[in-house]
Amino acid sequence: MKLAVYQARATDGDVEGGFARLDQALAGAAHAGARMLVAPELLLPGYNRPDLHGSLAQPLDGPWIIRLQGMARKAGCGLVLGWAERLDERVYNTATAIGSDGEILAHYRKIQLFGPMERASFTAGETAPLVFDLEGRRAGLLICYDIEFPGHAADLAAAGADLVLVPTANGAEYGHVQDVLIPARAHESRLHIAYANYCGSEAGLHFGGRSLIAGPDGRPLVAAGSSEALLISELPALTDLPSERLSSQDLDYRRPG
């Protein structure tokens, strides 16, 4: 299966501009033969826009998701992206996976909120990410800071996942995440991890770019620089993946002595 990662410029509240660029990225990914495109965290309405998160957040059955379903169906390429979800009086930092047929495959609310802005803007998710079928593979969703906690990736691997899709909004000062933590998470749990970051700046926050897809050996299959980019990678067949899986119990185990 071919997988695409879109390293986007921040939306910064320009929702229509975000949709337009995402539509172009989907078309490019589909043209390259990709079956799924991963885009950044809170692409709608923008990551560092707490002034907009509450006022623009939408429900799962709202116009944003309906429009995204139509875009994926038209392109013939699935889509994962982050967005601000409203449920009654609560707002969540959410990622949704939409299949190439426009159907919702998975829906996840970020558990590990990062920093004062996120904690003031969003309610933390309480449901662990689930594993879902994706073009014959088993995939899971995490969002940005979630992947920095080994147990989340390990739990997905223990549940049978071989692929984790991660919309993110990682600042330029946290480059160790791309250099060290994403490769480590991939190797620890014998996973492929697709990490889709922003480039450029938004409301004073400078993003680090350098989106990547890391393999189970900890090495990148493909990686971006600091500019807008569309990454495409052919994932190895399931028969070529390591058979071992590390569970959360393995990672928590400490040998006395």
Q: Which residues are catalytic?
A: 41, 110, 144
Give strand ranges (E) for the chain. Answer: 2-9, 36-38, 78-87, 90-98, 104-109, 131-134, 137-141, 163-167, 192-196, 198-199, 201-202, 205-206, 212-214, 220-223, 229-234
Please report, as a single letter, which amino acid is at residue 10.
Answer: A
Q: From the centroid of its chain, how far is CA 16?
A: 21
Distance CA 15, CA 78 (A): 20
**Is 132:106 a contact under the CB 8 Å cutoff?**
yes
Q: Which of 234, 197, 242 is nearest to 218 (CA)?
A: 242
Instruction: Name the phi and psi angles at 152, rounded to 5.
Output: -65, -45
